[in-house]
Each structure stands twice: as C-alpha cells, then as structure tokens.
Structure 1
Amino acid sequence: MPHYKIKVLRCYNSPKILTVTASNSQQAIRAAAADLRNEGVTDARGLEVIGQVKSLRD
C-alpha cells in the first residue's frame, strides 16, 4: 500500500503533517481523520493530501 502525506490545517496551532498508509487518497483522508480523533485533536479545520511518498524516509 502507498503512503500519503496529509496536511492538517488547524485553527489554533500550526499545521500538522501526518503520514498514513492507504490504498488511495480518499482512504488516506479517512485514516488521517481517525488518527486525529484518536489523538484528541479538536481544532482541525481541513485535511489536504500533499502527495504520495515512496517510503517513510521522505
């Protein structure tokens, strides 16, 4: 499965970058949203797929 970098735009803090594994970009957005919920992030106002990465070292 490919890895995607997701930029989380936040209301009160600086943007956060997440790297998630998913089959496509839509699934990557869903995985990022689930990660944010698990972390208790409540000030997210947008998720954007920055791009697909070949490895987690990028």
Structure 2
Amino acid sequence: MAYYKVQVNRQSNPPKIIVVKALRPQEALTKVASELRDEGITDARTIEVIGQVASFRG
C-alpha cells in the first residue's frame, strides 16, 4: 500500500489536503470522498491526487 496526498478544493473554505493509504490513486479518491461525506462537508468542488508520499521522515 502507498500513501497519497489528496487535495480537496472547496467552494467557500480554503483547500484541504489529506494523506490517505490506498492501493491505487482511484482508491485514494474514493476514500477521501467517503470521509468528506462522513464529516458532512458539502462544499467540495474538486478532489484530486496531487502526489504520492514517499516517506514521512524529515
């Protein structure tokens, strides 16, 4: 599994960046969309994978 950085562009709020663990980028998009629905966020305009996280170490 890999970690993907996903950006959610919102209508009335600043963009939100979420890091999720998924097998493929498409699965990362699905997970983020589900999380947004669970949080009650309804102003999302676009959800896009902006990169894969190689390491969390500094």
Normalized against structure 2, the TM-score is what? 0.91
Q: Percent identity?
A: 52
Change (3 A) 1:42 1:23: same
Pair 1:23-2:23 in alignment? yes
Q: How far did residue 56 of structure 1 move?
A: 4.1
Equivalent-residue separation in structure 2 for 1:29 and 1:56 (angstroms): 20
SS at match of 2:32: helix
Question: Which is greater in Rg?
Answer: 2
Normalized against structure 1, the TM-score is what? 0.91
Unpaired runs of 5+ in structure 2? none
- How many residues were matched structurally? 58
SS at match of 2:7: strand
